[in-house]
Amino acid sequence: MQAKYDRGDIRRLNAVSALKQLRESGPLSRAQIADRLGLTRATVSAIVADLIAASLVSESEFEEGGVGRRGMLLDLNPSCGSMVAVELDIDRVQVVLANLGMEFLWRGEASLSAPVTAEEGLQRAGELVEQALGRGAELGLPCFGIGVAWAGLVKRATGELAYGPISGWQSVPIKEDWEARFGTPVYVENEAHAGAIAAHHLGEPRGVRDLIYLSLGVGLSAGVFVDGGLLRGSEGYAGQVGHTPFVAEGHRCGCGRQGCWVTEIGASGVLRKLRAEGVELPEDADANLDWVPGVCELGRAQDPRVLRALAEEGRQIGEGLAQLIQVFNPSRVVIGGHLRDLLALCEAEVQATLEEKVLYPMGKDLSVVVSASPEDQLLGCLATVFEAVMQNPLLVSAS
Ligand SMILES: [Zn+2]
């Protein structure tokens, strides 16, 4: 069946195309946009009027060719509204308010003492979201949406927190509840998917089409971009690599099975290796990740026990990662998550293991990096809201 477009669809698609030109090329005149899109000046003027009415685009005067003729240049207006990002982790929740230029305008954080129920976790997160929205209102910025990154399986169709293998949360209708409560669109992503979205849209270089983002913390999952699109799977659950079998008869996992990859390289596995080496750790080390900076410090001071434990960690990361690389053939692998600071101390072992385990031509031009930012998940949430606005800019003008 032939798809039919009505005038509204065409108006939207033209607006999306004009915004894309401005995002990619920076300031342009109406005439330049018309030339690039092959549209008439009148059509472009109408689109631009919509986008200026929505404050998504601003115009400024410039001098043409230094002869005193004035022209108008159009550009995206980062201060036209706000977005909220929520990182909902096992042991803490972080919330930021940002403008469309990804500049943070407010941030708040609360720690959660594991194990925390979904009700308690969402209550703390909801309080912080209210504060963020309050700050946005004080600044006079309309909110374009809330992005949530969560350490568990997110059901694509409904934005439900379907299942947290470590938190134990199940079937939490966060999207539905928060859209009703806050009156703005809510986008929910698995934490590794959010990290991959950040690496794809905001990473250096931008727009890498085939990449794997491995999120390593208490849990472990992957976000995979294949040919420029995030691989989600039929339900949205793709990338749960932490629960692939890694050691036969291995340690018991939160998912109820034994020997999952996360039981070896996730926080519980790192703690076990450190304890086996006799490294002293805080009493509550199993309940949060506050021990990570201290262990990093010992590692940087060349404590041989920490270095031995992390060398083993690096080898186990490399072994599992080699499988993923051979399945997806990425050009870039980014390792992030709350254990990323430890990874800087075992990068050499990860690389050496990959050289040994990945088929030669696949590993040749592959770059494997530890994320430079502790905020991938928050940035991925913001990028999700931003992309939604860019895909439907006229909804903003209607609001
Ligand atoms: Zn498991």
* 3-state SS track over 325-358: HHHHCCCEEEEECCCHHHHCCCHHHHHHHHHHHC
Alpha carbon distance 40, 4 (integer Å): 22
- Could you state, in order of their start, the residue ranges of all structural domains in the chain? 7-76, 81-195+377-398, 208-374
Average pLDDT of the chain is 92
Alpha carbon distance 399, 395 (integer Å): 6
Please tell me the total number of residues recorded for the chain in this structure: 399
Q: At what angle do helices 41-53 and 30-37 cross, to 10 degrees?
A: 120
How many angstroms separate the alpha carbon of residue 287 from the centre of ligand 1? Answer: 18
Residue 243's pLDDT band, with cuts at 50, 70 and 90, is very high
What is 350-361 written as a DSSP string? HHHHHHHHS-HH
How many angstroms separate the alpha carbon of residue 253 from the centre of ligand 1? Answer: 5
Alpha carbon distance 289, 164 (integer Å): 18
- Please report which helix (H) or strand (E) contains residue 246, including its range: none
How many angstroms separate the alpha carbon of residue 242 from the centre of ligand 1? Answer: 7
How many angstroms separate the alpha carbon of residue 257 from the centre of ligand 1? Answer: 6
- Quote the longest CA-to-CA distance of the chain: 79
Enter the tokens of residue 106. 């407010």
pLDDT reported for residue 105 = 98
Residues with CB under 5 A from ligand 1 (ion): 243, 253, 255, 260
Residue 245: pLDDT above 60?
Answer: yes
How many angstroms separate the alpha carbon of residue 212 from the centre of ligand 1? Answer: 20
Assign domain 7-76 one CATH number from 1.10.10.10, 1.20.1560.10, 1.20.1740.10, 3.10.450.240.
1.10.10.10
How many angstroms separate the alpha carbon of residue 259 from the centre of ligand 1? Answer: 7
Q: What residues have CB less than 8 Å from 258, skipping those under 6 apart?
A: 249, 250, 251, 252
How many angstroms separate the alpha carbon of residue 345 from the centre of ligand 1? Answer: 26
The fold adopted by the segment(s) 81-195+377-398 is Nucleotidyltransferase; domain 5 (3.30.420)
Beta strand segments in 184-233, E: 186-190, 211-216, 220-226, 229-230
Of 9-13, 222-226, 316-320, 336-340, which gets the smallest average pLDDT? 9-13
pLDDT tens digits for range 320-366: 999 999 999 999 999 999 999 999 899 999 999 999 999 988 888 89
Q: 208-374 has which CATH code?
A: 3.30.420.40
How many angstroms separate the alpha carbon of residue 119 from the centre of ligand 1? Answer: 24
